Structure 1
Amino acid sequence: MNDVQPSGPIDLTTIATGIERTNELLTRVLAEVATTPSTHAIFVDAGYVYAAAGRLVAGTEDRRAFELDAEGLIEAFIDKARMIFPDSRLLRVYWYDGARRRIHTIEQQRIAELPDVKVRLGNLNANNQQKGVDSLIRSDLESLARHRAISDAALIGGDEDLVSAVEAAQGYGARVHLWGIEAACGRNQADPLLWEVDSQRTFDLDFCKPYVARRTNPCQPEPYAEPGAAPGGVEAAGRVEVRFVGAQVAARWLAERGREALADLLPGHPYLPGPVDQELLVEAEGLLGISLRTHADLRRALRDGFWEHLRAQY
């Protein structure tokens, strides 16, 4: 059997040129991959958050008995993720909740209007139990991981049914980090879920307390006001006044910390780091004489006024 011989002389120059071009292409691809920022997303099972935070802070899982400052809590989650994933950018926050016939409640509408937040709704049955939320979480986690849209997923929940969602995302190379809320007693997250994730983190009472407040009348919620609050309470504090107070606090903050601190703060717009947000809230409540803890619309106006003043000074 005769070996097949080449029909002509081998052109080493052509081969060398081809190899050089291939190496250049690989170099560009590797450089692009190296400079592409990692991306993370936060997946929040609202039913778990309400139940766990309510039990921990207010002593009950009944949503009618307490108010949750969802906006403030979401911003706290975003701020925590920014610290944990310093070299990663946020894709968005997914907020999973239940609603009758999947029609947004007023509170869910407000959450959906927040920047970088997407509300996904399952159904509520006759016993006010969520149906279909776990499948929504799995669908989003798997899809984002499959398309390489995220490298890390912070999952806030505790149901064992979420194990399949974690496995699906990990199968496409994403890392899944389970975040939970401290249990009043025992555990509020399933063991198989804890075993499956890449890392775990628990938020304690001090973290959750600013975002939960008991209602004075569970059947007919009323605005909460601190003792000695100004006449008219929260109802008398309009968005314009609260926005103006936000600007006042910003002026004091800038005078105390200077422009270097401002330059560090601006890249995070429209979000404030947790300590700055809490400082703003406490100082504003002192100036107004009322509590804003359970009034997301007024807290949003407060932050708007704070940012508006700071950005005008840069």
Structure 2
Amino acid sequence: MNDDLAALTASIESTNELLRRVLTAMDRTQSAPQSTHALFVDAGYLYAAAGRLVVGTEDRRAFEMDTEGVIAALIDKAALLFQDSRLLRVYWYDGARRRIHTAEQQAIAELPDVKVRLGNLNANNQQKGVDGLIRSDLEALARHRAITDAALLGGDEDLVPAVEAAQAYGARVHLWGIEAPDGRNQAEPLLWEVDSERTLDLQFLKPYVSRRATVAFEAAMARPSWEDVRFVGAQIAARWLAERGPEAMEALLGEQPYLPGSEDQALLVQAEGLLGYSLRGQSDLRRALRDGFWDRLRTVR
């Protein structure tokens, strides 16, 4: 009898010990923080560096980029590097006139797990405010423990404060760059501050970047005259009126001389398609385009 009781007691103690180990392991698993990473893409750097590497030019008008494919490839690369970590999202930083999305930027914003953040573009098509947006997001996410790792694709020295801010809250910042055909396309102070660095090479980017076939034709075209552009503006106004009707025209005329941002962007895109010529950064021709548009609507009225 005593032997049976002793065996039963030993069995219970063994079971209790096993249960304690299971509960301890579960407690450790539940208390361990979930690793989370996010990607921060400076689109200006990506376009310039990838264009230079793959097709030999930084001019966005000279090549096309499969942005959806690039973003998917970046997500896959991060999944390999940050194993046992979940993706928070991809932050895509770019510039736009008056911070109004272009058609391409709208398409990117509609992709799953992607957040588009826009700075401004000045008269020379230079981004303004993008570095500040990156710093704000990096710092806020690190401060709230929303991320443990940040993959930053960029090269500007102005990003150093963003890196330092995130690291101050315990996040690790990993700098991704693009292979430079000659020299280096990332600032040394930025390289010094990050926790690790990696380079995306030609083989990685080549499937997503291709030269536009129409570039040679556009480059050879003469700059359109003021009257040519004004006439195109009138053509587009006629189409607009046929599609929208008199009531919409009256409402729009009430806004003149200000053309709402979405309408102005649509006008620009349609005009460039008709002209086969880029009007970006050419304020005089943009004025001619708007003049022709408004004049046509006023004449119909």
Residue type of the alignment partner of 1:62: D
Deviations 1:208-243 (A, max 9, x none): 10000000113889xxxxxxxxxxxxxxxxxxxxxx
- Inter-partner Cα distance in structure 2 for 1:218 and 1:138: 36
Name the counterpart of 1:73: 70
Q: Does 1:167 align with 2:169?
A: no
Name the counterpart of 1:311: none
Q: Given the superposition, is the C-alpha separation of residues 123 and 88 from structure 1 closer, same or farther in structure 2, using an over 3 Å criterion?
A: same
Name the counterpart of 1:188: 185
- The structural deviation recorded for 1:28 is 8.2
- Inter-partner Cα distance in structure 2 for 1:29 and 1:201: 36
Name the counterpart of 1:210: 207
Name the counterpart of 1:33: 31
Residue type of the alignment partner of 2:138: L
Name the counterpart of 2:93: 96
Quick one: which of 106, 112, 135 aligns to 2:109?
Answer: 112
Name the counterpart of 1:125: 122
Q: Given the superposition, is the C-alpha separation of residues 148 and 100 from structure 1 closer, same or farther in structure 2, using an over 3 Å criterion?
A: same
Q: Does 1:86 align with 2:83?
A: yes
TM-score by length of 1: 0.60
Q: Given the superposition, is the C-alpha separation of residues 173 and 29 from structure 1 closer, same or farther in structure 2, using an over 3 Å criterion?
A: farther
- Inter-partner Cα distance in structure 1 for 2:75 and 2:154: 16
Residues 142-161 of structure 1: pairs in structure 2 closer than 5 A:
142-161=139-158
- The structural deviation recorded for 1:37 is 2.2
- Inter-partner Cα distance in structure 1 for 2:118 and 2:73: 22
- Inter-partner Cα distance in structure 2 for 1:27 and 1:85: 23
- The structural deviation recorded for 1:184 is 1.3
- Inter-partner Cα distance in structure 1 for 2:185 and 2:37: 25
Residue type of the alignment partner of 1:123: N
Deviations 1:128-174 (A, max 9, x none): 00000000000000000000000000000000000000000000000
- The structural deviation recorded for 1:32 is 2.4
- Inter-partner Cα distance in structure 1 for 2:160 and 2:171: 14
- The structural deviation recorded for 1:30 is 4.8
Name the counterpart of 1:43: 40
Q: Secondary structure at the match of 2:123?
A: coil
Residue type of the alignment partner of 1:116: D
Name the counterpart of 2:242: none
Q: Secondary structure at the match of 1:170?
A: helix
- Inter-partner Cα distance in structure 1 for 2:28 and 2:122: 51
Gaps of 5+ in 1: 1-25, 222-314
Quick one: which of 131, 134, 147 aligns to 1:134?
Answer: 131
8 Å Cα contact 1:70-1:211 kept in structure 2: yes
Gaps of 5+ in 2: 1-23, 219-301
Moved segments of 4+, more than 3 Å: 26-31
Residue type of the alignment partner of 1:33: S
Name the counterpart of 1:63: 60
Q: Given the superposition, is the C-alpha separation of residues 195 and 95 from structure 1 closer, same or farther in structure 2, using an over 3 Å criterion?
A: same
- Inter-partner Cα distance in structure 2 for 1:209 and 1:48: 16
- Inter-partner Cα distance in structure 2 for 1:64 and 1:122: 20
8 Å Cα contact 1:64-1:219 kept in structure 2: no
TM-score by length of 2: 0.63
The alignment's C-alpha RMSD in Å is 1.9
- Inter-partner Cα distance in structure 2 for 1:28 and 1:220: 66
Q: Given the superposition, is the C-alpha separation of residues 194 and 70 from structure 1 closer, same or farther in structure 2, using an over 3 Å criterion?
A: same
Q: Secondary structure at the match of 1:75?
A: helix
Q: Given the superposition, is the C-alpha separation of residues 65 and 109 from structure 1 closer, same or farther in structure 2, using an over 3 Å criterion?
A: same
Q: Secondary structure at the match of 1:134?
A: helix
